[in-house]
Amino acid sequence: LKLLRGFCPKCGKTVLKNDLSNICVRCGVNFQDLELIIDIEAASELSVAFKIASLEEEKEIECPNPNCNYQIKLNWDVCPNCLTPIIKP
């Protein structure tokens, strides 16, 4: 615990005192101007929520174009097979 600086305020990743960067290696947030989380339970809840959101983005669906059966990810903007725009839910 002596090496612990805190936890990322966006994803709950552990930040050690010897980490020279102020950029989170998990989510990329710059926490130089943000206050790190100190409460381990709050960080754990953030970490779980971040992982769930990341998995949702990786979830695959079938292209909305009825003439295309390509499997696409929800975070894509267009189907790479038929170029149909993907409307976010």
Domain of residue 82, residue span: 60-89
The predicted-structure confidence for 15-30, as pLDDT tens digits, reads as follows 999 988 889 999 999 9
The first and second tokens of residue 25, run together, are 């290696």
DSSP secondary structure of 45-88: HHHHHHHHHHHHHH-EEE-SSTT---EEETT-SB-TTT-PBPPP
- Indicate the length of the chain as a whole number: 89
Q: Are residues 34 and 20 in the same domain?
A: yes
Q: Are residues 32 and 50 in the same domain?
A: yes
The predicted-structure confidence for 39-53, as pLDDT tens digits, reads as follows 999 999 999 999 998
Q: Are residues 46 and 15 in the same domain?
A: yes
pLDDT at 1: 66
Cα 45 → chain centroid: 14
- The three-class DSSP label of residue 16 is strand
Q: Are residues 36 and 70 in the same domain?
A: no
